[in-house]
Amino acid sequence: MIPPSYTYRNITKHKMTSSLTILGIALVVFVFAGSMMLTEGLETTMVATGHDENAIAIRKASQTEVMSIIYYSQANILKTLPEIALDTDGTPLIAGELYVLIAQKSRTSGDEANVVVRGISEKSMKLRPNIKLIEGRMWEDPGSEIIASKGAATRFSGCGLGEKVNFGARSWTVVGIFDAEGTAFDSELWTEYEQASDVFGRPIYSSITFRMKDTTQFAAMMEKIENDPRLPLDVKREKVYYESQSKTFSTFIGITGTVISIIFSLGAIIGAMITMYAAVANRVTEIGTLRSLGFSRFSILTSFLLESSLIALFGGLIGVAAAFLLKFFRISTMNWDTFSEIAFNFDISWGIAIASIIFALVMGFVGGVLPAIRAARLKIVDSLRA
């Protein structure tokens, strides 16, 4: 076999062509990894929104809270289920909430976006122990005061501490900022349920969230609810529910990113092929010398494939390293499932990094296989004569 050091020297010998090919592959890998990181970040944000022991109920076939209507009579029936955990005061740990969208202007662009106003109760806070007030206080006058998430306070006009936001024909003062730890709640405004119900004229719940007494009994509880004609509700584990809220957008991102990566990869493959064909043309005499020294056609073929794969590997590593920097950026966009604004980070995993490197190696192999075959088929006499 031809020593790997020979292959590496040939890459460094032709710095310009090798560098351009590496750069092209790095760009493709960057796009490929970036699209997967975007999808991963959105799904991670949505899954983290749910609590392992919580379940959520919305109206059957509603898909999301924004379309759901649950009447008080149905909520009262749910409260009687023995599978629901009890609070310290012996009452069911269950909260009916209202979910309404309002338009707010972005601080940076000035464009309007749909921001969630969530009407909550005291039980709502107990169901989400990870959410904490980090500035200000809880409302004292629920008819004119609200609290805002850290993300909403940063991104939207009127949502900062001490500022005023208008909805429901009232002016509300933001008296507290809460940290939702990067979950979907980090793009919301919270007010007392009774006040939200009054100003929006909606004496109903959009969703009902409750703590399960025993998570292993979820299937039995769900079957009980489905068999009760008084409860036309869909019940899901909270994590499963919020994960489903990202499916449409994440699928679109995944498909779009894959299509763009494939298109770009064709250019990278052609670039690798040109580089390797040039290498073959410049090293015809070397190939003849190697063949005369006893190296087989297979060794020549393997050497050129290794060279194209190494070029692709370098490009893949650079692309993944560049994509990793996206992890420090936070973006916001409209979630197509809920029509509300959501902010999330790019998120990378070992799976994404490995998949990106494999994608790069495939490009290198495909781009190098034809030039490698040509190099292996050169005749000794013709090569030395050249």
> pLDDT digit string (tens) for 110-169?
888 889 999 999 999 999 988 999 999 999 999 999 999 999 999 999 999 999 999 988
pLDDT band (50, 70, 90) for residue 236: very high
Say whether pLDDT at 364 is over 60.
yes
Q: What is the pLDDT of residue 136?
A: 94
Mean pLDDT of the region 313-324: 94
Q: Choose between 294 and 24: higher pLDDT.
A: 24
**Number of continuous H segments (helices) and E segments (strands) in the chain:** 13, 12
CA angle 126, 209, 91 (to 5 degrees): 55
Mean pLDDT of the region 333-343: 74
pLDDT band (50, 70, 90) for residue 7: low
Q: For the chain, percent helix, then strand, then coil, each to nearest 5?
A: 55, 20, 25
Q: What is the pLDDT of residue 275?
A: 80
Q: What is the pLDDT of residue 381?
A: 61
Q: What is the pLDDT of residue 39?
A: 85
Cα separation, 361 vs 366, whole angstroms? 9
Q: Helix, strand, or coil here: 334?
A: strand
- Cβ neighbors of 310 (< 8 A, separation 6 or more) are 7, 8, 11, 364
Say whether pLDDT at 3 is over 70.
no
Mean pLDDT of the region 355-370: 90
Calculate the average pLDDT of the chain. Answer: 87
pLDDT tens, position by position, 157-204: 999 999 999 998 889 999 999 998 888 898 899 999 999 999 999 999
Say whether pLDDT at 302 is over 90.
no
Q: Which of 46, 49, 172 is nearest to 104 (CA)?
A: 172
What sign does the dihedral 332-334-335-341 (CA atoms) show?
positive
Q: Which residue's structure tokens are 């004609």?
A: 229
* Helical axes 284-292 vs 297-324, angle rounded to 10°: 130
